[in-house]
Chains A and B, each alone.
Chain A
Amino acid sequence: MLKWRTVALALWMTAVSSLVHAKQLAIVVDSANATTNLTAADLSKIANLKTRNWPDGKLVTIIMRDPSAADMQLVLSRVLNMTPEQARTFIQAHKGAIQIADSDDSVLRFVSSNRGAIGIVDLYSLNKDVKVVKIDGKLPVEQGYLLRGN
């Protein structure tokens, strides 16, 4: 037996988690970064290293999970437009500009302590040390947000 709220939850939330859950990924930057919104096109240019500097001139450093991680599939398909293998090769060729972390916590620690860093984490990993950037004016919790889905 569980407490009521959990039991009540089961009315809605039957056990189907062997299916893929829709993910919500957040784009985060360091708190000092003045950018509050990126267009999907801006984000794609940053991820593909076509844009290397922020408007204030700071160098962009990208940090993300391994492209083969399940969470990163949305990024590959909607931002990088690459297969996991292509992404791995691309990252390998640009080691200084793109870094790979082994966890969302690592991404958050890196972003919070490196000016100009931009990271990608699961919505539920967010903490107060980083700033969430909107994409096309939308936060991860809003409908139509780019990095939301399977």
Chain B
Amino acid sequence: MISRLSVILLAVGLAFGSAAAQTDSRATVLPLTTKSAKARRLVDQAWDLAVDQVEQVKGIKVLRKAVKADPNFAMGHEILAQMSLDPSEQVGEQRKAFATKRHASVTEQTIVDWFQDAAEHKLIPAITNMNDVLGKYPHDRWVVYLASNWLTQQTQFDRAAAVYEHSGIADSPGLMNNTAYSYAYMRQFDKAFALMDKYVVALPKDANPQDSYAEILRMAGHFDEAIEHYNAALAINPEFYSSQFGIADTYSLVGDQVRARQEYELAFRKFPLPALHRIEWKTREAITYIRDGDLKAADTAFQAIADYAHANGMSQVEADTYRQMAMCQIHSQQALLYLSKAETAIHEGNNVMPGAVQQEFAQILRARVELAIKTDDEQIADATLAQLAELSGNSDDKLIEAAYHGAAGALLFSQHDYEHAALHLEEDIHNPLSLKLLAAAYQKTGNTVDGKRTGEVLANLNDPTLEQAMIVPAFRRCIQNPSCDSGFTNASFKR
């Protein structure tokens, strides 16, 4: 670990001389404005639980007590909005943070504005507000936590890691954990493992370091070691459900879907879960059927999730589930039906931030474009892409933009305009669907170096997502088969 002073010097740069002095003058801790000493104490407790021990559910309960103790505690509401696992609570607490910000300090008001801007897709003010706060309090744990989390959501993994490295905070296991994930997302596994080693040492009796280590090992393709670390986590804390599900996810990724489903079922029987976690792993379980090529069973599993989401007023989850079902369909009419259901659900908009409605709608439009490409309906593809372009043009949301570029790239690829397709697909490199096309587009334009590199990245993706399940195993099989021309045939499904 580099020293605190070195970190500070690195953080500010040396070009204009006065930087080090400026850093020293900056306060370390952002004072939290509340009239209630109890509320302040509870927020400290929430940090220990939710961030450092990754006991999110317990931490959130404590935060609820904090804002109950002082309903005008704007930062309490904002932190709860950012930590909550319940979409309706996320929306409600953001509203409360904004409504009560007059009771907060100027810097706290800037934090609330930052997240309000982000929720309203006003990216430039959100960024400037974040940097304003980071400039004043680069060493404050809540500021560092909120900034690195938000930057991660923005796919700015290098910046998220830099915020931590520059903070000089060396004693927060939770921040080590989050930063290790940022490095892992950048596939800088050496740095991720180095942080994980420190994290394990910092909390030797805690299950989460072993669980995180396992997940990052899995991302790097070290499946056996991942399972060892998941088991180590469960040995420390048999109630640590994430590790039980992690074992299931890992078996799914290595291709043992029967064992994966056994592990999922075991976990669902053993552990009561928060709604979003339950949905997350129910979705993973449904994906095992996709990996098996058993679309009928996948439909049944996904439908149960959609029904659960509908019954519980979770419109985005319902919409996203129907969209995923549509993506897996062989028959276009069935896919269209699911996409219509997805649209109906998202327009109901129960417990969804306005920005999230647009994000989901963009994903649905993208799925419609891809379906139109499959059915050679260029007119529908063009019209839907135009709709998506308009949505993207009126927003500065990265997910919406990525959806547009992914769809535009796919359409141009289908029209054999590989050069322009690549330009769009490069803006959506987090999605295996686009990555597959991008690798092919590079190859077809003679850019074999980037084609090979992109193909390698795609082949080494180990995330238990639907897109990975649909694309990566088939891609791996294909690149190992000399008779497979491009490697870009879709997995076959049976009914």
Contact = CB atoms under 8 A, between A and B. Distances in A.
Interface stretch (A6-14, A40-48, A50-58, A82-90): A6-14
A60 B276 CA distance: 54
Interface in B52-102: 54, 56, 82-83, 85
Given A14-B431, A124-B154, A143-B393, A105 B13 contact: yes
B472 to A, nearest CB: 9
Contacts of A150: 426
B219 interface: yes
Interface in B88-124: 123-124
Given A2-B178, A105-B12, A124-B154, A19 B454 contact: yes
A139 B124 contact: yes
B124 A126 contact: yes
B199 to A, nearest CB: 12
B124 A6 contact: no
B242 A127 contact: no
A8 B353 CA distance: 15
Contacts of B212: 1-2
B475 interface: no
A14 B432 contact: yes
A141 interface: yes
Interface stretch (B127-135, B254-262, B368-376): B127-135
A22 B124 contact: no
A15 B184 contact: yes
Contacts of A15: 184-187, 219, 461, 463
B15 A101 contact: yes
Contacts of A149: 423, 426-427
Nearest to B131: A127
Contacts of A106: 13, 15-16
B367 interface: no
Nearest to B51: A3
Interface string B7-19: 0000011111001
A18 B461 CA distance: 12
Contact of B399 (A12, A16, A123): A12
A32 B184 CA distance: 42
B159 interface: yes
Given A3-B56, A126-B131, A127-B128, A109 B16 contact: yes
A141 B124 contact: yes
A127 B154 CA distance: 17
B280 A7 contact: yes
Interface in B177-224: 177-178, 181, 184-187, 208, 211-212, 215, 219
Contact of B426 (A10, A22, A101, A102): A22
A121 B29 CA distance: 28
A4 B131 contact: no
Contacts of B149: 3, 5-6
Contacts of B178: 2, 6
Nearest to B432: A14
Given A4-B56, A13-B155, A126 B128 contact: yes
Nearest to B276: A4
A91 to B, nearest CB: 16
Interface residues of B, number: 74
A100 to B, nearest CB: 9
A143 B394 CA distance: 9
Contacts of A14: 430-432, 461, 463, 465, 467-468
A15 B461 CA distance: 7
B185 A17 contact: yes
A81 interface: no
Given A10-B463, A14-B468, A17-B186, A103 B277 contact: no
A21 B181 contact: no
Contacts of A132: 124
Nearest to A113: B16
B132 A127 contact: yes
A140 B127 CA distance: 12
Interface in B144-175: 149, 151-159
Nearest to B110: A128
A140 B398 CA distance: 12
B402 interface: yes
Nearest to A15: B185
Contact of A6 (B181, B431, B457): B181
Contact of B127 (A16, A123, A143): A123
B247 interface: no
B429 interface: yes
Contacts of B343: none
A27 to B, nearest CB: 13
B351 interface: no
Contacts of A140: 124
Contacts of B399: 12
Nearest to B155: A13
A9 B187 contact: no
Contacts of A17: 157-158, 185-187
A20 interface: yes
B396 interface: yes
Nearest to A102: B15
A102 B19 CA distance: 13
Nearest to A18: B187
18 contacts: A1-B208, A1-B246, A3-B83, A6-B178, A12-B399, A15-B186, A15-B219, A15-B461, A15-B463, A17-B157, A17-B185, A20-B426, A21-B155, A103-B13, A106-B15, A124-B156, A142-B393, A150-B426
Given A1-B246, A102-B14, A123-B124, 4 more contacts: A2-B181, A14-B468, A18-B186, A127-B128
Interface of A: 1-22, 101-103, 105-106, 109-110, 123-128, 132, 139-143, 149-150
